Amino acid sequence: MPASLQRTRLTADEYANGILSADRVVLSKAITLVESKLPGDNAIAESLIEKILPHTGNAMRIGITGVPGVGKSTFIEAFGLYLISLSKSVAVLTIDPSSQRTQGSILGDKTRMESLSNHPKAFVRPSSTGNTLGGVNTRTRETMLLCEAFGFDVVIIETVGVGQSETTLRGIVDFFLLLMLAGAGDELQGIKRGIMEMADAIAINKADGDNVRMTELARREYQNALHLFPPSESGWVPEVVTCSSLHNEGMEKIFNIILKQDKHMRDVGYFNENRKHQNLNWMFETVNHHLQSDFYNHPKIKSQLVQLQQQVESGEVAAITAAHHLMKIFKEIKY
Ligand code: GDP
C-alpha cells in the first residue's frame, strides 16, 4: 500500500481500488469501516459498497453454525485448508454474538484456525457485531461482499448456534451447514428444530476413535428425522454426514454435497431466486437499521426514554401509551 494511504480513513475510491487490487490491508480497513457506527463512516461505507457491488456475487457463500465446543473452528481450519488444496482462496468471517466467548477469544484468537489464518490464500476475520441480536447483521453481509470483490472464491461465515443469528445467517448464504455431536440430545446441544430445518447439510463431527459408532448412529437418526420435516421449497433434501475435523476426514464428502446442492439450486432456478430475495431483504434490513438508529439516537427520544422506561416498569404508564408517545415525538421531528 502506498505511504499516502497509511492514514486511517481513506476515500471510498481508495478503499474500492485497494480491494479490487487485492490489497489485504485495505480490505481489513474497509471491514472496520463497514462495522463502524460513526455516521461519517456510514456514508463512506455506503459509497464503497456501491462501488464494489458490480464485482460481487461470484463467491460460494457458506454459513456454518453449531454450539460452542462442537468443533467449528477445527472444522473450518480443516475445510479451509482442503479448499486451498483445490486451489481455492477462502475468507472466513467469524461472528461472536455474545460476551460468552469474548474472554476465551483473547486466547482463542491465537490458537483458532492458526494454519488457515497464516495461509496466504486465506483471510480470517473475527467480526465485531455490536449489540445486534444474534450478532449477524447487514454489516456481515456487507463484509462478505467486500471479501467477494477482493476475489475470494469461498466465503465462510461462522456463527455460534445458540441464538437468533442462524436465521439471519441463512438469509445471507447459499449453503448452511450445521455441525453437531453424537450422543448429546438436541436439547443438550441447544439446537432448536428450526435450525435443523434451515440446514442444507448436517455434519456430525468428532467421528474418530471410540466415537465412530456413535456418530454413525446419530447420522442415521438425524437423516431419518430430516425426512419427517416438510420438503423444502427448492426440493433440496438435506444430507447428514459424519466427519472428523481433527483428522481432516470428511472434508471432500462435505464439499461434494455443497457442489451438489449448488447444482441442484441452479438447475431448479432457485439459486438466483434466493439471491434476489436476499438482496431485497438487505434493503429492508438496512431501512429498519436506519430507522431504529435514527429513532433511538435522537436526543428528543433519548431524553424521554429513560423516564418512560421507568414509568412502564412501575406500571404508571401503559407500554402501548409510552410507545405511542415516543412515536408521536419522532413523527414531529423535522429532518
Ligand atoms: P468451537 O467452539 O465449535 O469452535 O469448537 P473447537 O473447534 O474450538 O473445538 C472444541 C474442542 O473439540 C477442541 O478441543 C477440539 O480439539 C475438539 N475437536 C474439534 N473437532 C474434533 C474432532 O473431529 N474430533 C475430536 N476428537 N475432537 C475434536
pLDDT tens-digit map of 128-150: 655 454 456 778 899 999 999 99
- Looking at ligand 1, which residue's alpha carbon is closest to its atom 9? 71
Give the residue, out of 77, 181, 246, 251, with the most ligand 1 atoms within 8 A of its beta carbon, to mutate for a pocket test: 246
Cell matching residue 154? 469461498
Q: Which atom of ligand 1 is nearest to the CA of 108?
A: 8
pLDDT in tens, 6-51: 456 799 999 999 999 999 999 999 999 998 877 788 889 999 999 9
pTM: 0.86
CB atoms inside a 10 Å sphere around CB 1: 14
The rounded Å distance from CA 315 to ligand 1 centre is: 48
Q: Quickly tell me which residue has 437499521 as its cell.
A: 289
Tell me the pLDDT tens digit for each residue of 193-213.
Answer: 778 888 999 999 999 999 999
Name which residue sits closest to atom 22 of ligand 1, judged by CA.
206
70 Cα–ligand 1 center, Å: 6
Q: Which residue's alpha carbon is nearest to atom 7 within ligand 1?
A: 71
pLDDT band at 169 (very low <50, low <70, confident <90, very high): confident
β-pair partners for 123: 91
User: Closest ligand 1 atom, CA of 209?
Assistant: 26
Q: What separation in Å is there between the alpha carbon of 74 and the centre of ligand 1?
A: 6
Of 162-166, 237-241, 289-293, 300-304, which gets the smallest average pLDDT?
Answer: 162-166
Long-range pairs, 141-144, Cβ under 8 A, ≥24: 141/172, 141/282, 142/34, 142/45, 142/49, 143/31, 143/34, 143/35, 143/93, 144/59, 144/61, 144/91, 144/93, 144/172
Taking CA atoms only, the protein residue closest to ligand 1 atom 26 is 206
Amino acid in position 149 = A
The x, y and z cell numbers of residue 311, run together, are: 414509568
Residue 269 pLDDT exceeds 60: yes
Please tell me the least confidently modeled range out of 207-211, 257-261, 286-290, 308-312: 286-290
Q: Say which residue, 168 or 318, is predicted with more confidence.
A: 318
Instruction: Write the residue with the smallest CA distance to atom 19 of ligand 1.
Output: 71
Which residues form ligand 1's pocket by a CB distance below 6 Å? 66, 68-74, 205-206, 208, 244-246
